Amino acid sequence: MGKPTGFLEYQRELPADRDPIARLADWDEFHLHLSDDKLRTQGARCMDCGIPFCHTGQLINGMASGCPVNNLIPEWNDLVYRGLWREALDRLHATNNFPEFTGRVCPAPCEGSCTVGLVEPPVTIKSIERAIVDRGFEEGWIVPEAPPVRTGKKVAVVGSGPAGLACAAQLNRAGHWVTVFERADRVGGLLMYGIPNMKLDKERVVQRRVDLLDAEGVRFITSTEVGKEYPVDKLRARFDAIVLCGGATKPNDLPIPGRELKGIHFAMDFLRGNTKHLLDERNGLSANGHFISAAGKDVIVIGGGDTGTDCVGTSLRHGCRSLAQFEIVPRPPDERTPDNPWPQWPRIFRTDYGQQEAAARFGADPRTYQISTTKFVGDEHGHVKELHTVKVNMLFKDGRMNFETIPGSEEVWPAQLVLLAMGFRGPEDFLVESLGVARDARSNVAAEHGKFRTSLEGIFAAGDMRRGQSLVVWAINEGRGAAREVDRWLMGETSLP
């Protein structure tokens, strides 16, 4: 695939990003594209390796290795190298309903298991994927494709995040009538309100795909929470099958002294309110009263990962006075360690867009590692004014992670806004309890991967609601898989991939 000697002749080259300081003045996407010639050169680096681990999509040591939707990466790299963009788009869509999403927000486990990455920097798979689908939209190749025949079966999908949308797209393709329920006022779930606009444009990218699905026959009902505005008995009576794709939206908290103070918020409340405010303003709607602003404040983000980074980038765009980000774990190494070999996901130190912007704005990376917050302290108005912290060492005892306080490392940090970005611990209780489906030991909806059936006949589950907090690309994998099993259950057989 590609040019047999391309990986020897060409160096890895990523598209440039917009200047970190300049992009803080707006909410526009910050990634740029390479030229066609450079993209073809990057596609040429994909070697004919024989066993392309890049699209295996398996879990190794608890993390994804290769592409979870099994993208046919060597094939479309070769087609890009040969200038066959339309054919490359067809191969990309064969396994991925939404490459414009994954090409922007996926951490690219495919690149972590690229064979070239054994000895050289891996192929730029993610940027090529995004370029293929963006060109498909620009050329008008991506158009609504309604199914030629309808089965008459009706399926309800609860939740319009990546799992719900993928499930709906596939079930609609099979000819079923699909209705997607979303409790927010806009379709997209995590894609719409959980990821900031500068990473994933809502109107140009997310809404564009939603409009395509609508034109293909998928029905969307927004501002409707199943179990409240739409009773579960009505749902079961009106639909032949139900797929639960509500996500894992229950955040981890930090129950330490002072947690009740004003100015301490969960990251998703901050991010959701910001995006809603931005979109409402752009569309001439009334201002969102729940908008949390970081303007002029000392901001501390507790937690790393993508959500923490998004809080950093958003706070900077608000015009925060200062910014710090805490991570309780040690700083990752610069290169793979012996216990993290290829093709595992490389657990190495990375600087994401938010940290790059913070360094450009304030002169240093905002992250502090091996730090634990011990208490919040408020002012006379009950608003947080400072954090007290201590440095810690991470230890493993009896196979479990523990943290040991380092004496004399206490410190006080000014803060008027604290954002908790410490991950999620499963789906919210209301819908699960209303339906009465069984849960697993981690409180997720119990349903075996590959079958996706819950404890109740005709009800299926997919995405983070079933597997717990994960990646957008895993949600698409699960949405597609659940659609296949729903189709099989309804029709006795299935031709969905």
pLDDT at 161: 98
Residue the block writes with tokens 């009334």:
286
Please report, in tens digits, the pLDDT of each residue of the chain (497 residues total). Answer: 668 889 989 999 999 999 999 999 999 999 999 999 999 999 999 987 888 899 898 889 888 899 999 999 999 999 999 999 999 999 999 999 999 999 999 999 999 999 999 889 999 999 999 999 999 999 999 999 999 999 999 999 999 999 999 999 999 999 999 999 999 999 999 999 999 999 999 999 999 999 999 999 999 999 999 999 999 999 999 999 999 999 999 999 999 999 999 999 999 999 999 999 999 999 888 765 578 999 999 999 999 999 999 999 999 999 999 999 999 999 999 999 999 999 999 999 999 999 999 999 999 999 999 999 999 999 999 999 999 999 999 998 888 889 999 999 999 999 999 999 999 999 999 999 999 999 999 999 999 999 999 999 999 999 999 999 999 999 999 999 999 999 999 999 999 99
Q: How far apart are CA 232 and CA 432, in angstroms?
A: 10
Query: How many Å apart are CA 212 and CA 116, to the nearest integer?
Result: 37
Q: What CATH superfamily classification does 6-138 receive?
A: Alpha-helical ferredoxin (1.10.1060.10)
Whether domain 154-249+425-491 has CATH 3.50.50.60? yes
Give kind and range of the element (H or E) at residue 207: helix 207-215
Same fold, 154-249+425-491 and 264-420: yes
84-90: long-range contacts at Cβ-Cβ below 8 A with a sequence spacing of 24 or more?
85/132, 85/135, 85/136, 85/139, 86/136, 86/139, 86/141, 88/132, 89/132, 89/133, 89/135, 89/136, 89/141, 89/142
| Cα(100)–Cα(191) distance, integer angstroms | 11
Measured from the Cβ of residue 395, the count of other Cβ atoms closer than 10 Å reads 10
- Predicted confidence at residue 285, as pLDDT, reads 84
Prior bond of 407 cis (ω within 30°): no
CB of 98 closer than 8 Å to CB of 69: no
- Whole-number Å distance between alpha carbons of 17 and 24: 12
Q: What is the residue-wise DSSP string for 26-37?
A: S-S--B-PPPHH
Q: Do you find a cis peptide bond into 107, omega within 30 degrees of 0? A: no
Residue with tokens 């983000």: 301
Q: Which CATH number fits domain 264-420: 3.40.50.40, 3.50.50.60, 3.30.465.10, 3.40.50.300?
A: 3.50.50.60
State residue 48's pLDDT score. Answer: 78
Q: Is 387 exposed, middle or buried (0-12, 13-18, 19+ CB in 10 A)?
A: buried
What 3-state DSSP class applies to 208? Answer: helix
- SS3 of residue 57 by DSSP: coil
Q: Residue 118 is encoded by which pair of tokens? A: 């054994």
Give CA–CA dist 338/322, Å, rounded: 38
Q: Taking phi first (over 0 means left), then psi (-120 to 50 degrees means alpha), and beta for anything else, what does residue 428 get? A: beta
Q: Round to whole Å and give the CA distance between 31 and 40.
A: 18
pLDDT at 286: 73
At residue 354, the 3 state secondary structure works out as helix
Burial 156-185 (b: 16+ CB within 10 A, else e): bbbbbbbbbbbbbbbbbbbbbbbbbbbbbe
Residue 12 CB neighbours (<10 A): 16
Which residue ranges make up each domain of the chain? 6-138, 154-249+425-491, 264-420
User: Contact 277/287 with Cβ under 8 angstroms?
Assistant: yes
Q: What is the pLDDT of residue 84?
A: 97
Nearest to 240 by CA among 457, 495, 466: 457
- For residue 335, the 8-state DSSP code is S
Q: How far apart are CA 163 and CA 447, in angstroms?
A: 15
Q: Is the pTM of this model over 0.85?
A: yes
What does the block give as tokens for 272?
A: 């959701």
